[in-house]
């Protein structure tokens, strides 16, 4: 079955499988959103079913909550958890300082709240997500629907004085309607090409009325687990300054591949 996976899916899978080792019995764990995070949820579900592992999962979106329940993970809300031991999530881009662009899957608001409420954030990604400068991937900004074109105009005006290469912004669509987040908001994608000062941009964007949150995660991520299509996994810990390499095998009869 695993032979049918593309190299990119194999990379996501091995990153997720390695990161699942960070989860210990009794933890409260933030579960990210997106295709890489979905692999993580499946890997953790397998640990619950096969190894009897017990932990509480705090999902960052309705779709992650649904998948987590489906695979047997005990799901609780952030209100119940209050503070988390660990969050594991994907990213659209990460740089050498583990600054991230997130929100390609539209869940950046819950993802940022949950990751910030965690003692540790681990990002899982395929190697293509590593960049020298953030910004090639359009930066998602969650905005409230009320007056969104005004908010968009304010963002574009603000971008004039920011250290970015592009300034085009687009409303994310779902077919012929604006995309709606789990919180009932819209997303503006900022096509910046290159972000010179991500910290400053993140602060300035959040000052604009109508902006709920932006997809820049600065000083939140502690560890990145990078997967490769051949099963290699690199784990970089920014605080310890360590890099570990592991080789994972694809198990042909792995239950995880049953529904793929
Ligand atoms: C969702 C996210 C995702 O983590 C990000 O888009 C990466 O997704 P994928 O793992 O599918 O590449 O931020 O809001």
Q: What is the mean pLDDT of residues 115-120?
A: 98
Q: What's the mean pLDDT when you consider all of the chain?
A: 95
* pLDDT of 252 strictly over 80: no
Q: Give percent above pLDDT 70 in the chain.
A: 95
Q: What is the mean pLDDT of residues 172-193?
A: 98
pLDDT band for position 46 (50/70/90)? very high
Q: What is the mean pLDDT of residues 190-216?
A: 98
| pLDDT for the residue 97 | 97
Question: What is the best residue among 104, 121, 130 to mutate for testing ligand 1's pocket, by most ligand atoms within 8 Å of CB?
Answer: 104
| CA distances (Å), origin 137, targets 94, 194, 239 | 10, 9, 26
Q: How far apart are CA 100 and CA 102, in angstroms?
A: 6
Q: What is the mean pLDDT of residues 16-29?
A: 98
| pLDDT for the residue 253 | 46
- Cβ of 142 below 6 Å from ligand 1: no
Query: Per-domain residue ranges for the chain?
Result: 2-131+219-257, 139-214
| pLDDT for the residue 250 | 74
| pLDDT for the residue 260 | 46
| pLDDT for the residue 4 | 79
CATH of 2-131+219-257, one of 3.30.310.50, 3.40.50.1370, 1.20.200.10, 3.40.50.1360: 3.40.50.1360
Residues 6+ apart with CB under 8 A from 110: 33, 60, 61, 78, 182, 183
**Span 157-167, pLDDT tens digits:** 999 999 999 99
| pLDDT for the residue 249 | 83
**Span 87-101, pLDDT tens digits:** 999 999 999 999 999
CATH of the domain spanning 139-214 = 3.30.70.260
φ and ψ of 116, to 5 deg: -70, -25
191 and 166 Cβ atoms separated by less than 8 Å: yes
Distance 102 CA to ligand 1 centre (A): 6
Distance 215 CA to ligand 1 centre (A): 11
| pLDDT for the residue 254 | 58
**Span 51-70, pLDDT tens digits:** 999 999 999 999 999 999 99
Atom of ligand 1 lying closest to residue 102 CA: 13
| Residues designated catalytic | 111
Question: Listing from the earlier edge strand, what are the strands of the sheet with 100-101?
Answer: 93-94, 100-101, 216-217
**Span 125-144, pLDDT tens digits:** 999 999 999 999 999 999 99
Query: Can you tell me which residue has the tokens 């993802």?
Result: 111
- Cβ of 111 below 6 Å from ligand 1: yes
Q: Name the pTM for this structure.
A: 0.96
Instruction: Look at residues 192, 90, 194 and name the one whose alpha carbon lies nearest to residue 134.
Output: 194
- Cβ of 89 below 6 Å from ligand 1: yes
Q: What is the mean pLDDT of residues 241-245?
A: 98
Distance 127 CA to ligand 1 centre (A): 14
* pLDDT of 1 strictly over 50: no
């Amino acid at each position: 079955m695993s032979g049918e996976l593309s190299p990119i899916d194999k990379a996501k899978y091995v990153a997720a499988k390695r990161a699942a080792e960070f989860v210990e019995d009794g933890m409260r764990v933030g579960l990210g959103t997106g295709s890489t995070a979905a692999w993580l949820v499946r890997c953790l579900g397998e640990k619950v079913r096969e190894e009897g592992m017990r932990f509480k999962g705090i999902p960052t979106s309705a779709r992650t909550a649904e998948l987590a329940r489906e695979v047997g993970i005990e799901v609780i809300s952030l209100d119940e958890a209050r503070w988390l031991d660990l969050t594991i999530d994907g990213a659209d881009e990460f740089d050498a300082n583990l600054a991230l662009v997130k929100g390609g899957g539209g869940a950046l608001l819950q993802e940022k709240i949950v990751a910030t409420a965690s003692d540790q954030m681990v990002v899982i990604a395929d190697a293509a997500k590593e960049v020298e400068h953030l910004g090639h991937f359009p930066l998602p900004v969650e905005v409230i629907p009320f007056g969104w074109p005004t908010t968009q105009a304010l963002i574009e005006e603000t971008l004039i004085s920011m250290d970015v290469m592009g300034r085009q912004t687009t409303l994310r669509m779902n077919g012929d309607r604006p995309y709606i987040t789990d919180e009932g908001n819209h997303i503006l994608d900022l096509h910046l090409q290159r972000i010179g000062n991500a910290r400053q941009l993140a602060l300035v964007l959040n000052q604009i009325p109508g902006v709920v949150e932006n997809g820049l995660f600065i000083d939140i991520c502690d560890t990145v687990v990078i997967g490769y299509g051949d099963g290699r996994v690199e784990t970089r810990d920014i605080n310890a300054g360590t890099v570990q390499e592991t080789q994972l095998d694809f198990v042909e009869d792995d239950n995880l591949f049953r529904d793929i």
